[in-house]
Amino acid sequence: MSEASATPPAPESTPPPPAAEQATTTPPPAAARPEPVEELTPEQQRIAELEARVQQAESALAEEREKFLRKVADFENTRRRITGDAQRTAESKKTEFIQQALSIADNLEMALLTPVDKETVDHLTAGVKMTLDKFYQLLREHGIEKIPSLDQTFDPHRHEAVSMQKIEGKPDHTVVQVYREGYIKGDQVLRYAQVVVNQL
């Protein structure tokens, strides 16, 4: 019996390589094409220039406004400081004046408390005169003066006529008597003088 001829085994099939190992070729991206630049028309250029100028002007205006507000604030601070100093000075002068006037009132009160008899009348008269002189000196130190009135022409800006008289030999509209003295400080009338005026 003849031996059967052996059949050679079929070759083993080789599995395909994994997908990750397969060489992949990605084509490079296409280069981005630059967008075309739109050219401005002459009118658009003028508008852009005007807008830029307006923005610059607004910035400059805001800066100047800030400077102005700072100057206003500085001025107000200075004004308040000067006003405060002036008020304090005025109050100090007023207090000083009152203190000096009170000392004069003290002298007059002492004169009133002194017993009046024939021997002291002359002394009281001299004392009151000295007190008045001291008072008028105090007024002058503060710029306050009597209004010249007697034998002066009537001045409605300084005098107040309380009555009229007719005195021959005196000029018309002349002050012939002073009822109450008037006082001025510079050009300011503190009190009108009450006078009698000659009327021919």
Residue 10 banded pLDDT, cuts 50, 70, 90: low
Bigger pLDDT: 8 vs 79: 79
According to the model, what pLDDT value does residue 154 have?
95
Instruction: Tell me the pLDDT band of 195, cut-offs 50, 70 and 90.
Output: very high
The yes-or-no verdict on residue 16 having pLDDT over 90 is: no
Does residue 109 sit within a domain? Answer: no
Determine which of 8-17, 61-70, 186-195 has the lowest per-residue pLDDT on average.
8-17
Look at residue 170 and tell me if it is in a domain. Answer: yes
Query: Which comes out higher in pLDDT, residue 33 or 164?
Result: 164
The answer to whether position 70 is within a domain reads no
Is a pLDDT exceeding 60 seen at residue 84?
yes
- Asked if residue 45 has pLDDT above 80, the reply is yes
Q: How confident is the model at residue 144 (pLDDT cuts 50, 70, 90)?
A: confident
Residue 79's pLDDT band, with cuts at 50, 70 and 90, is confident
Distances (CA, A) of 134 to 57, 85, 112, 123: 69, 30, 17, 16
Percent of the chain with pLDDT over 90: 17
Q: Is residue 187 part of a domain?
A: yes
Which amino acid, residue 81? R
Is 196 within a domain?
Answer: yes
Q: How confident is the model at residue 51 (pLDDT cuts 50, 70, 90)?
A: confident
DSSP string, the chain: -PPPPPPPPPPPPPPPPPTTTS---PPPPPPPPPPPPPPPPHHHHHHHHHHHHHHHHHHHHHHHHHHHHHHHHHHHHHHHHHHHHHHHHHHHHHHHHHHHHHHHHHHHHHHHHSPP-TTTHHHHHHHHHHHHHHHHHHHHHTTEEEPP-TTSBP-TTTEEEEEEE--TTS-TTBEEEEEE--EEETTEEEEPEEEEEE--
Which CATH number belongs to the domain containing residue 153 in this structure?
A: 2.30.22.10
Q: What is the mean pLDDT of residues 148-156?
A: 94
Mean of the per-residue pLDDT values for the chain? 79
Is residue 110 a part of any domain in this protein?
no
Specify the number of domains making up the chain: 1
Residue 176 lies in a domain: yes
Selected residue with higher pLDDT from 100 and 105: 100
pLDDT of residue 4: 46
Q: Is the residue at 159 inside a domain? A: yes
Range of the domain at 153: 145-200
